[in-house]
Structure 1
Amino acid sequence: MRMLLSQLCLFLLLFCIPPSVYSATMWSDNNKFGMHAASLSDEEITDTAALVNSSGGAWGYITLLLSDGDYDHAKWQNLFDKLRLHKLIPIVRLTTKADGPVWMRPELSGANTAAHFLNSLNWPTRQRYVVLFNEPNHGHEWGGACDPADYASTASVYAKAFKQQSGDFVMMLAGLDQAAPHQPPNYCDAGQFIAGMIKAVPDLFTDIEAWASHSYANPGFEQSPTKRGRSSIRGYEWELSVLNSLGVTKDLPVFITETGWSAKALSQDTIAEYYRYAFEVVWLRDGRVRAVTPFILSYIGEPFQQFSWRRPEGGKSFFPVHEIVKSIAKTKGRPPQLEKASVFTTVPRTLVTNSQYQFQIWLRNDGQTIWDKRDGYEIALGKSLPFDVQFSQLFNVVPGRSSVVTITFSSALYKGQHQMKLVLMKGGVPAVQLASFYLEVVDPPSLGLKATVFPGFNAQGPARLQIFDRAERLVWEKKDVFFQGWFSPNPEDHRSRSG
């Protein structure tokens, strides 16, 4: 039988929807709850997700530390894939190496290396939050001496390096210790430190798009959450006012990457109630606050056991604050994520009327989301067709993996040219335009068959005629065929299936 269906091979490295105009850090459905992690262990991730995504929440935050030189791509990509699975948004704080009790100053030459490494990873969300080091108004955090000019110039170099790699990086300066006295070189007053930064690098905030704050209840990590102003859980308000007074008019969303109370000064029940008040009355009501990642979920031993939410015995045993925060209603976050796909398919270009067809498309997930029917992902038509088309379902297609989708339809009697547009949908909304091609439906061809039997005589008499495809599947059958030299099937009886 002569092949009647020509094949069209479509290889499309497609398509992410053009990015809409949105703030680099703001979207409406945001889950502010987060935690500061002490390690990158699976337990730390799962326990953080169970806490910050509880009570209706999704896509809470986790603050992680990336040490200078810890650039193992497989390790960090595996970590980010786990965060994606658990719906956690990472806030990555850069750190240097310790020289005894002092943290070394970062090398300027390390800026491009760090930026290139973090840009090479497939992050869980489009926004990539990076904090440039830690409390540089402490001398021991900045090579032994607090130096606002040196920190500002270093931070500027790093921020520019990251923004040159990708505009999706959201850069933040280091959180400051608001309670530090002004005793250079050991300590610098936070307000004077901010002023010194801006004086040294007036355009510092060109590449800074959010503000990291360490809003602790000081002095002593024991003050009431009702306290306002500097060195309180509202300390970010004071910091923003200082920035404004120094001419920084940029709207900077606030990420409270550290906060908390000390169990050395307060009972665990008091700490739990303080956190309840802080979230329900202060942070959740303040539109400037985008995330709160208290310090710290788990720390056994000194010096930070006093802040830990996990009991010293470890395991799944937590202090009362854990259950209090877990019970607070949360938002199902919907952070922007990149949707992108590669597509390969062999599509029949010419079809015959009143026939059943089935073919496959191969999809590779090149974006940041996980394609799953349970999250509203499906393949659909971007343009209606006169005949019914059905698609197989998507389940747990993670970035970097592929899935084969089967398309089944009947051409019925709809002759003519028809455009088929394939779209990846999420929650009924187009996410990726996958492919577009034309199908032409024509009348079935005339078919004549001549059969012979050994040793070359024409077949005569009754027979059964069957046609199989390349996969040896039966695609057409006619019984009670009678050969008398030639047999011509009725075109109306024709059925074919393309695999």
Structure 2
Amino acid sequence: MVVTPFVFDYQSDPFLEFSWKKYQSSDFYQQYYTVQSLLKTKGEPEQIEKGSISFDLPKELVAQSKYNFRVSLKNQGQAVWDKNESYELGVMSYEGNKLTNFLISDIKDIKPFEEKTIDFSLKTNEEKEKEEIKFFLVKDNKTILESKPWQFKILPLPDLNVEVNFWPIRRAKGDNFEVQLFDVDERLVFKKTGVKVDKGLGMIKNIQNIAIDELYRVVILKPGYLPRQTYIVFKTKGNLAKFKSMLPFDLNSDGKFDFRDVKFLFYHLTKLLKTV
């Protein structure tokens, strides 16, 4: 057996004669170029890929709407899941076709034994009696994980009835009400201005961006009045948001009652008295 020591670059004794780089030169000896030209196999040791994709998503959506949801990605393998390492979360239909109405966030630095949530958005178009999709995790276009199926319907847009009065006992009336809907994460999902209310009752047709059997916070606003809110679980029909009487104390229309409203009142009373 022959032992042949070498070093890449050593410019003095005792290892100068073993250096691949020539003495006081930027050039190399032939053995450097010989090794450099050898065919090399990229080092990619096999890693165990294991984990899960889980979610708890609504079963009934509505048409012509946009949704923001989350899935949970749990890494129980050996690799670090990251877009820069060619990992990607996708979605496919039951028939195996990739869907274009989904937009999924990039995967970033999910280490072994970590679990992270991934945001995605979905746009619905026409009504559909049944839709079934799966999420899948791929690396270099090779599927390594699949989720359970998500089955849902896309239903017609529902309506929302509102019932509201003015304090102390007057039935609300006007065409400048505003109604806002917030989901459980306090994201504004729907807003309608210019809502007409007569004799304390109003209706908003074709509510978008809501899921059936899910909880929403409903806020009603009108200039000069403090906002009121209530909670409802949306159904396909018969949705009613019933509010407590609106208080006429938002004199500066900032959505709350404070010292500035009192100041506003005294300012205008003073102006009124000067004209008398």
TM-score by length of 1: 0.35
Relative distance call for 1:469 and 1:378 in structure 2 (3 A) is same
The reply on whether 1:494 has 2:204 as its aligned counterpart is no
Cα distance in 2 between the residues matched to 1:479 and 1:453: 19
Relative distance call for 1:476 and 1:374 in structure 2 (3 A) is same
Deviation at 1:346, TM superposition (A): 2.2
Deviation at 1:432, TM superposition (A): 0.9
The reply on whether 1:427 has 2:140 as its aligned counterpart is yes
Cα distance in 2 between the residues matched to 1:445 and 1:336: 52
Cα distance in 2 between the residues matched to 1:496 and 1:425: 31
Relative distance call for 1:340 and 1:496 in structure 2 (3 A) is same
Deviation at 1:450, TM superposition (A): 0.7
Relative distance call for 1:324 and 1:395 in structure 2 (3 A) is farther
If each structure's strand is expressed as a fraction of its own residues, which one has the higher value? 2
Cα contact 1:387–1:410 (8 A) shared by 2: no
Deviation at 1:348, TM superposition (A): 1.3
Deviation at 1:339, TM superposition (A): 1.4
Relative distance call for 1:385 and 1:322 in structure 2 (3 A) is closer
Relative distance call for 1:324 and 1:399 in structure 2 (3 A) is farther
The reply on whether 1:468 has 2:178 as its aligned counterpart is no
Q: SS in structure 2 opposite 1:407? A: strand
The reply on whether 1:343 has 2:53 as its aligned counterpart is yes
Cα contact 2:53–2:146 (8 A) shared by 1: no
The reply on whether 1:356 has 2:60 as its aligned counterpart is no
Alignment correspondent of 2:229:
none
Relative distance call for 1:374 and 1:488 in structure 2 (3 A) is same
Alignment correspondent of 2:195:
481
Unaligned residue ranges in structure 2 (runs of 5+) = 9-14, 20-28, 217-276
Relative distance call for 1:412 and 1:363 in structure 2 (3 A) is same
Deviation at 1:467, TM superposition (A): 1.2
Task: Could you list the structure 1 runs, at least 4 aligned residues long, displaced by more than 4 angstroms after superposition.
Answer: 319-327
Alignment of 1:244-323 (within 5 A): 261-263=3-5, 268=6
Relative distance call for 1:377 and 1:328 in structure 2 (3 A) is same
Cα contact 1:466–1:474 (8 A) shared by 2: yes
Cα distance in 1 between the residues matched to 2:61 and 2:159: 14
Cα contact 1:415–1:443 (8 A) shared by 2: no
TM-score by length of 2: 0.60
Cα contact 1:346–1:359 (8 A) shared by 2: no
Structure 1 residues 343-392: Cα deviation after superposition (integer angstroms, max 9, x where no partner): 33221111011111111112111112221212221111232377611110
Q: SS in structure 1 opposite 2:189? A: strand
Cα distance in 1 between the residues matched to 2:75 and 2:208: 38
Match of residue 78, structure 2, among 345, 363, 368: 368
Cα distance in 1 between the residues matched to 2:54 and 2:169: 45
Cα contact 1:350–1:442 (8 A) shared by 2: yes
Alignment correspondent of 1:450:
163
Unaligned residue ranges in structure 1 (runs of 5+) = 1-217, 222-260, 273-304, 310-318
Q: Give the alignment's Cα RMSD to 1 decimal.
A: 3.2
Alignment correspondent of 1:43:
none
Cα distance in 1 between the residues matched to 2:60 and 2:106: 26
Alignment correspondent of 1:397:
110
